[in-house]
Amino acid sequence: MKISRFVPPARVLLGPGPSDVPARVLLAMAQPTIGHLDPAFINMMEEIKALLQYAFRTDNSLTLPISAPGSAGMEASLANLVEPGDKVIVCRNGVFGARMADIVGRIGGTPVLVDNAFGEAVDPDKLADALKRHPDTKVVAFVHAETSTGVLSDAKTLAEVAHRAGALVLTDTVTAVGGVPVETDAWGLDAVYAGTQKCLSCPPGLSPMTLNERAMDKVKGRREKPRTWFLDFNLLMGYWGTGKRVYHHTAPINLLYALHEALVMLQEEGLEASFARHRQNHERLVKGLEGLGLEMAVPAAIRLPQLNSVLVPAGVDEARVRADLLAWFGIEIGAGLGELAGKVWRIGLMGQGSNRRNVALCIDGLRAALAAQGYHP
């Protein structure tokens, strides 16, 4: 089998992630690899930590990128915070909550699912009720921005409810960070993890995270080691810490160049400006979709500006629309996941991909793909 160079086709990534990566970030990543113990690299690690503190709005000293994608960040947080026998309330309102519950079971915890309908936000009252029924809950976990549905939950209120019951709060901000406010310190989120390939405009493969003192105390006070060596925070702290570094694994050097540059871009624009831009282009997109006679799947109050679920109109073959967009324009949009499979499209305007050019292109492309099926506004 003779295999030759791979050349990716030209794409515009308007799905649930990865999002388009700016040339600046791609070129930063293509700089020559250096050693992970090189003084210059260690200095860059410090800068990444500071830039992530900015992105997460936190002063937590344990703020670092896990050397694997966002789902490893989910596993890392749970595997470290949850001890065998611990009860963990997982608020489920989409695909990613279900995944959390699976992980809790594997590491010996007891998951308690608090279910909200697919496409609804997590209900703080349901969480409060569950905490009353399970007062021995150690950790409450929820997804801030559900990528499978395009729904934003009220992390601040959920954290308050959990803290009143004495539980730690673990928040998935994979799709949130950089696109909507994530106030780690102000909201008292105890453990937060994210991904790089959504609103940070960086290739996938890293999971930024942050833990506050309360969470660190739980990790340090564990009765037994986490059931993972690769994701053990005590070991990762030794590798990323400010004292003498202890070799753990080989960090993904070039991906970290990319993350550094993507975070420099975020800092240059400013978080508030980034949030406003996501909001503004979201509004433009909704207007354009409504102009096509399409309906949003999620109520305005809980819509994610960076991930837009749109109802597939009756009589339209949703997969063919996606295929035509890809073939004719190179546009990738997302299919529905789980209960929403076949019922919605998911249109991402994430990170640098949230711009007017992409809104215009998306609306125009959809118009053409729908017209090909005899659908007209």
Q: Scanning residues 198 to 217, which ones bind a second copy (CB under 8 A)?
A: 203-205
Determine, following the binding rule CB under 8 A, whether residue 347 of this chain makes contact with a second copy: no
Helix (H, G, I), strand (E, B) or coil at 286: helix
Amino acid at 44: M
* Cβ contacts of 351 within 8 Å, gap of 6 or more: 19, 20, 178, 179, 198, 199, 200, 201, 262, 306
CA dihedral 326, 338, 162, 144 (to 10 degrees): 10
Q: Which is closer to a second copy, CB of 68 or CB of 286? A: 68
Determine, following the binding rule CB under 8 A, whether residue 189 of this chain makes contact with a second copy: no
Determine, following the binding rule CB under 8 A, whether residue 239 of this chain makes contact with a second copy: no
Range in contact with a second copy (rule: CB under 8 A) among 22-30, 130-138, 289-297, 310-318: 22-30
Q: Which is closer to a second copy, CB of 158 or CB of 349? A: 349
| Lookup: tokens for 65 | 């990128």
Q: Which is closer to a second copy, CB of 156 or CB of 227? A: 227
Whether 313 contacts 375, CB under 8 Å: yes
Residue from 159, 167, 298, 337 touching a second copy (CB under 8 A): that is: 337
Q: How far apart are CA 171 and CA 145, in angstroms?
A: 10
* Residue 268 beta carbon to a second copy: minimum distance, rounded to whole angstroms: 9
Q: How far is CA 175 from CA 96, 159, 272, 343, in A?
A: 11, 18, 16, 21
| Lookup: tokens for 280 | 């503004």
Helices (H), the chain: 23-29, 39-56, 70-81, 95-106, 124-133, 155-164, 184-187, 213-220, 233-240, 253-269, 271-291, 318-329, 356-371
* Residue 230 beta carbon to a second copy: minimum distance, rounded to whole angstroms: 5
The label of the residue with tokens 């749970």 reads 78
Pairing of strands 151-152, 145-146: antiparallel
Range in contact with a second copy (rule: CB under 8 A) among 113-121, 128-136, 137-145, 197-205: 197-205
Residue from 61, 110, 254, 280 touching a second copy (CB under 8 A): that is: 254
* Cβ contacts of 170 within 8 Å, gap of 6 or more: 77, 78, 81, 139, 140, 141, 142, 190, 191, 192
Whether 72 contacts 252, CB under 8 Å: no
Determine, following the binding rule CB under 8 A, whether residue 34 of this chain makes contact with a second copy: yes
Determine, following the binding rule CB under 8 A, whether residue 328 of this chain makes contact with a second copy: no
Encoded one letter per residue, x for contact with a second copy by CB under 8 A and - for no contact, window 283-322 reads ----------------------------------------
Determine, following the binding rule CB under 8 A, whether residue 112 of this chain makes contact with a second copy: no
Q: Which is closer to a second copy, CB of 93 or CB of 147? A: 147
Determine, following the binding rule CB under 8 A, whether residue 31 of this chain makes contact with a second copy: yes
Determine, following the binding rule CB under 8 A, whether residue 11 of this chain makes contact with a second copy: yes
Residues in 62-91 that interact with a second copy by CB under 8 A: 67-72, 74-75, 79
* Residue 327 beta carbon to a second copy: minimum distance, rounded to whole angstroms: 10
Range in contact with a second copy (rule: CB under 8 A) among 19-27, 120-128, 134-142, 363-371: 19-27
Determine, following the binding rule CB under 8 A, whether residue 258 of this chain makes contact with a second copy: yes
* Residue 63 beta carbon to a second copy: minimum distance, rounded to whole angstroms: 13
Q: Which is closer to a second copy, CB of 50 or CB of 372? A: 50
Residue from 86, 172, 261, 318 touching a second copy (CB under 8 A): that is: 261
Residue from 1, 300, 301, 314 touching a second copy (CB under 8 A): that is: 1
Q: Which is closer to a second copy, CB of 257 or CB of 375? A: 257
Q: How far apart are CA 165 and CA 351, in angstroms?
A: 35
| DSSP per-residue string spanning 85-149 | T-EEEEEESSHHHHHHHHHHHHTT-EEEEEE--TTSPPPHHHHHHHHHH-TTEEEEEEESEETTT
